[in-house]
Each structure stands twice: as C-alpha cells, then as structure tokens.
Structure 1
Amino acid sequence: MTFRFSTSRRRLAAVGAGLAVAALALTACAGGSGSDASESPAGDEGFGDLTLQLSWILNEEFAGEYFADTNGYYEEAGFSSVNLVPGPETGVAPLLSGSADVALSDAVSIGSAVASEGAPLKIIGATFQANPFTILSLADGGDIATPEDLIGKRIGIQDSNRTLFDAFLLANDIDASELTIVPVQYDPAPLVNGEVDGFMAYLTNESITVAAEGLETTNLPFADNGLPFVAETFTTTDETIASSRDMLKAFLVAEIRGWTDAVNDPEEGSRLAVEVYGAELDLNPENSLAGAIAQNELVVSEETEEFGLFWISDELQAATIESLERAGLEIEAGDLFDLSLLAEVYEE
C-alpha cells in the first residue's frame, strides 16, 4: 500500500489580494475590533521583533514563512524582524519560558500540556488542516497498513514524538507493551537498514525521501486511523493574547499572505528552502519540491477555501478534541482554541 495525495485544489490568488489590503490596514491602524484599551498600538515604531519557534528544520515545511520574510510581509505588518528558530521542538517549553512569542506545533502536543500541566496556551490558527504524521514502513518489510499491524513490531520513535505516539496507541486500544519502541533520531536510515519495522514520519517528508530511493513504502496515517487533529498550529500564551492582540493579528496577516504565495508557487517555496533558508542543510531539491507540492493538500481544504487559510471550524475543533479524548486527554475546545483573532483579521 502506497499513500497517495489527491489532486491539487484551486489557487488562492483572490485571498492573497484581499490580505494585502488587510496587512496595510493593520499596519496603519493597530487598534482593530476587539482590541484591549491597555494595548500599545504599533504606531510609528511598529511591533519590534518577534520570535517564531518552528517545529522542524528549515526545509520546505515553512515555505509560507519564507515568503512572508522574503517578500516583506512581516515588515509591512509592522515587525522589525521575525526570527525563525528551527526545531525539532513542540514549542511548549519556548512559549512558557518566554523565549518564543509564537510556536508552530500540533494539537496533541499543546493539548497534552494544557490538559496535563494546565499550561496557559492557546492555538490561534493551523497551517495544516490534517496532520501529516504517519508510521512509515517498507512494503517488503514491516508493511504496517493497520494499527493492529504495529503489534509485535519494532517501531522507531523520536523523543519529541513519544507523547504523540502514545496517544496514537491509546486511540487504537494498543498497549505499548505489545510492541517494541526503539529510540531513533529523524533520519529514516534505521528503517531502510532494517533496524526497525516502522518509523514515525511525516507524509510530506520522510515518506517522500524513502520512496525516492526506489523503495515501495506503506503508510499508516494518524489522521485516517483514529487521530485526526490539526498540525503546524500557531500557538501562543494567554498572556500574549491579552497583552499583544494587535501584534498577533498583524502576524497572522503576514502569515496568510506568505502561505497564499506558498500554495500558489510551491516551486519557489522549495527553492527558498533549498537555496536560502535551509542552504546549510544540503536539502534534496527534488524531494523538497515533492514535499512542497504534497503539503498544499494539508494546507488547503474546502473549509479554508470558504473561510480562509488557518481557519479551524467548529467541526474540526470537535474532531481534534475527540482525538485527544481517545488519547486519554480531557480538555474542552475553549481551553485549547481561540479563533477570535483570526476571525477579526478576516472581518477587517
């Protein structure tokens, strides 16, 4: 079984044009609807610097951020600079320590911190409408096509993904003792070399890399097997929402503009990753382009075409909460999501 993506949806030129106007409006007048009177508008001095913690290395996964930086969208939104800090990182620690203003993460990592630790964090939007996590295996090896196929297998799991994998097991009524968890890094070499039967991966990254080596692969996507949730979530603290609402809205505008470009031009997004932002990583151009094209299917959905990029509908919020409940995490949608800033951006 080889996972395949559906055909691309229509382009988003109209969205980009509309958000260009919105960006100028927010830059010129930071006092939008819903703003707290105690806030300090951007004014002539702007919002200053912002630190964005990325969930992964500087590859094509963050093409929208590269466009926003390269094309001046962050600057037009009122920022002196936006510092893109590479991962791997769930974003919880940098946000709580104050070393990051916003983090790209996933609903399970953030939901776990909120439900288990009472972390004062909120998801204010999501780049990926469906999460890209998968258990990758070789068709002539582990051939893990169903959750039950995990039983008795050796599964390579990265430390930062252990909470998420445990949630996947719980959602499918599988005890960790029924398989062998092997600590690995992010290079899928242990899978290719036969050291593990399955490997926790991204559909838009390692799955493409391994298949490009001429190996037939099998994927067990989390989103299709009991754990659908949003990913690459824009997450920040409750305090930042309360004290810097206009700053966050201006940031979202720049991000929407950047991701509109990324959806419309995956070739340039890939080039920016390979030649500019990730130049020191020696990224494979062909694999990078394949990933940039594939991830657009996660960014664009019928709901984002209707309501706008990053939007998380009530139905998708409910599905995410249900996934967390199946993973043993009790949490209400209002404790995890705050879409009011994004709503104001689109209203304005």
Structure 2
Amino acid sequence: MATLDRRAFLRTTGLAGLALGLAACGDSGASGGSGSGSGFGAVKIQLSWKKNVEFAGEYFADSKGYYKAAGFSQVELLSGGGSGTSVESGLTTGRCWIGLSTPTITAPAVLQGAPLKIVGATFQKNPFAIVSLGKSPIQDPKDLAGKKIGVQDSNELVWNALLKANNLDPSSVTRVPFQSDPSMLTSGQLDGYVGFVTSGPVRLKMQGVDAAHMLFADHGLPLVAETFTVTQETIDKERDKLKAFLTAEIKGWKDAVADPAKAAELAAKTYGKDQNLDVAEQTEEAKMQNELVVTPDAKANGLFTMTAELIEQNIASLAKAGLTVKAESLFDLTILDEIYKADASLKLS
C-alpha cells in the first residue's frame, strides 16, 4: 500500500516539510460542526493522516459538542497525508492553529528554527512495530539476527535507531526492500516487516492470519505519537484558548477509549466516509490503539500527559535517530498540568 509509505515518510523524516508550507493544511474534508458557539471562534486542527479511526477522539469531541461547549464556534478537521502535507509547515505559515504530529518530525523543524512546542501526546507509545507471523514470532530485538526484514526506505531512520538502541549489527539482519505488501510475509519472503501495530496485525487477522508484533517503544526506542503541536506564540498569548481546546480533546478521547465500536462507526460512516473504511477492521484498530493511548501513567496522570521520565526517554530516542534536541526546546506539558490540577475529574476513572 503506497499510503503507508507516505504515512511512514511523514512521521519519520519530515525534513522537507518546512519547504512545503503552502501545501500544508489543504483538504478540509468533513469539518467540525458549526454553530453559534462563542468565545474562541473557529480554529483548524491539522491531522497527521487521512480520516480514519486514529482520530476518534476528535470525532467524539466534534459530534458530542465538546468543542462548542469549550467556546469554539467551529473546529475544522483538516486531513493529513497526501503529497507534502506537514503539520509543522502549516503551523509556521498560520494555515492551521494546532496539529497532530510526532517528535521525529517536529524535532527537525525545531532544530531548523521553527518556534514550535509539543503540548501533549495522544499515543503514549509510537505504533511502529516489527510485524511477524504467530507461528514464528519476532518478540525481542535479538530475534532479528539472521532474519529477513522488510523495511521501506522512508522507515530507515527509525529502523536504524532501533538497531542502535539494541546494539545490533546491521549486517546481522537482512534488510529487504518493501512496499507494504503483507503477502511478502505470508508467502515466506520475509520473516517480518516494519509497520504500524494499529494496522498491520489487524489486517492480517482480518484475513485469517495469526500475526505477532514487537513494539519499538517497548524495546529501547520509546517515542510518543499523535502529539499536539502548536507555536510558542499560541502558548504565550492564547493559553486559555489552548486549555479549552485540550479539555474538549480529553473529553473526546475518554469517549473514544470507552467505545471502540462507536469510534469505528464515526470514522467509517461520517468523518472518513470517503475513505472506504471497513467498520469491523476500524473497530479492531481502535481496540489496538487504545493500548497505545491508555498506559499506567496516562491512567494516573491523565490522557496526553507525559512524565518527566517519558520526556527524557523521547529525547534519548531522538538522539539515537540522529536528532539532538533539548527537552525544554521541544516539550511543554505545563498546560495539561494546569488542566488536570483544576479538574481532576477529567482523568480516566
């Protein structure tokens, strides 16, 4: 699937994103609900990919009126993906107010001088994984030795970082050119491939194939994903507005976590109805992604929060990927801290 290649590129390289600003936040697709809401007016959120169940929390926040109740007359959900779409360039050109991205894309932008900050992380764990067959699972990095692993060129950065994090000699693994065709795995041409845990194993399961996975985040490369990214100016001058928005997002994601079936229905039948999504598959993907959203720390501290330890782990992981950036230059979790201090009921029960 070519779409996964583009998706992987956007999430793991991103270095060309700032040069593509005018293409950044196009394709609004289904937008947020309009209405007579007051206070903060209309804003645009740039999604990291096309409208599937990955953005279920945003769909709930829109359809259940959480955005409107927070004071927004409209929150427009801009589709990501496609040629050259970049949250970072959209933010720096003002074509979107907030976006969902990932540290491996935002960090290069910050290192190039973009005044951006990550203020929360929907996925406490990045979905990158080694997907393999249940009958011969790859469950530990040491299992990679002597194996044939499919790796897209666009995933080279994160693949090399995984090898470095686990002190694995690249020559001990046979890297096979890969274009997201799972039949290479089921036919025995590959022992595993680099893919997303939220989609690869689910699609194989839907085909009746028993699949296994090994999350990069659990094996030396902890990185968050679907990170809420804004400009420093938004933090400095629109803090209350940002708090209101993130509060609505928290409510939406609490609903999404609690009801994967409804999340899939909203994705397939309303917000992503032009994507030809399968409700059953989207439901399984929603269940899988809940494992990335809800961790013990997220339960204890609230959705989107990052502990100091997790932030430092992300900084260390970025360094393994060749991106040396200071935590205070990339993350600002004080907004979420203030939200949960003011209303502890927003935490997961």
- The percentage of counterpart residues that share the same residue type is 46
1-side partners of 2:191 and 2:158: how far apart? 19
Following TM superposition, by how much is the alpha carbon of 1:232 offset from its aligned partner in structure 2, in angstroms? 1.2
| Residues 281-317 of structure 1: CA deviation (Å, up to 9, x unaligned) | 2222222111212222222222222222111111211
Structure 2 counterpart of 1:294, one-letter code: M
Change (3 A) 1:211 1:110: same
Structure 1 counterpart of 2:318, one-letter code: L
Instruction: Report SS of the residue matched to 1:95.
Output: helix
Following TM superposition, by how much is the alpha carbon of 1:150 offset from its aligned partner in structure 2, in angstroms? 4.6
Match of 1:60 in 2: 53
Match of 1:50 in 2: 43
C-alpha contact 2:122 2:304 (8 A) present in aligned 1? yes
2-side partners of 1:180 and 1:322: how far apart? 25
Superposition map of 1:161-240 within 5 A: 161-174=155-168, 179-180=174-175, 182=177, 184=179, 188=182, 191-192=185-186, 197-240=191-234
Change (3 A) 1:149 1:211: same
2-side partners of 1:268 and 1:173: how far apart? 43
Q: Any gaps of 5 or more consecutive residues in structure 1?
A: 1-43
Following TM superposition, by how much is the alpha carbon of 1:261 offset from its aligned partner in structure 2, in angstroms? 0.9
Structure 2 counterpart of 1:172, one-letter code: N
2-side partners of 1:339 and 1:140: how far apart? 42
Following TM superposition, by how much is the alpha carbon of 1:67 offset from its aligned partner in structure 2, in angstroms? 0.2
1-side partners of 2:216 and 2:255: how far apart? 28
Superposition map of 1:301-340 within 5 A: 301-340=295-334
**2:110 corresponds to 1:114:** yes
Partner residue of 2:118 out of 112, 118, 123? 123
Structure 2 counterpart of 1:312, one-letter code: M
C-alpha contact 1:182 1:196 (8 A) present in aligned 2? no
Match of 2:87 in 1: 91
Larger RCO, structure (CA 8 Å, separation 6 or more): 1
Following TM superposition, by how much is the alpha carbon of 1:196 offset from its aligned partner in structure 2, in angstroms? 5.2
Segment drifting more, 215-224 vs 251-260: 215-224
Segment drifting more, 231-240 vs 44-53: 44-53
RMSD over aligned Cα atoms: 2.7
C-alpha contact 2:157 2:321 (8 A) present in aligned 1? no
Following TM superposition, by how much is the alpha carbon of 1:217 offset from its aligned partner in structure 2, in angstroms? 2.1
TM-score normalised over the length of structure 2: 0.76
Match of 1:82 in 2: 75
Change (3 A) 1:181 1:79: farther
C-alpha contact 1:210 1:217 (8 A) present in aligned 2? yes
1-side partners of 2:298 and 2:92: how far apart? 30
2-side partners of 1:123 and 1:81: how far apart? 23
Partner residue of 2:338 out of 323, 332, 344? 344
Match of 1:72 in 2: 65
Following TM superposition, by how much is the alpha carbon of 1:84 offset from its aligned partner in structure 2, in angstroms? 1.6
**2:282 corresponds to 1:288:** yes
2-side partners of 1:310 and 1:213: how far apart? 33
Instruction: Report SS of the residue matched to 2:230.
Output: strand
Match of 2:9 in 1: none
2-side partners of 1:104 and 1:78: how far apart? 21
Change (3 A) 1:133 1:71: same
2-side partners of 1:169 and 1:269: how far apart? 35
Match of 1:251 in 2: 245
Segment drifting more, 249-258 vs 300-309: 300-309
Instruction: Report SS of the residue matched to 1:345.
Output: helix
Superposition map of 1:148-167 within 5 A: 148-150=142-144, 155-157=149-151, 161-167=155-161
TM-score normalised over the length of structure 1: 0.77
Change (3 A) 1:51 1:197: farther
Segment drifting more, 88-97 vs 121-130: 88-97
Change (3 A) 1:285 1:316: same
Superposition map of 1:30-41 within 5 A: none
Q: Any gaps of 5 or more consecutive residues in structure 2?
A: 1-36, 343-349
Match of 1:39 in 2: none
1-side partners of 2:178 and 2:238: how far apart? 39
Instruction: Report SS of the residue matched to 1:50.
Output: strand
2-side partners of 1:309 and 1:162: how far apart? 30
Structure 2 counterpart of 1:239, one-letter code: E
Segment drifting more, 48-57 vs 123-132: 48-57
C-alpha contact 1:125 1:312 (8 A) present in aligned 2? yes
2-side partners of 1:203 and 1:76: how far apart? 34
Structure 2 counterpart of 1:70, one-letter code: S
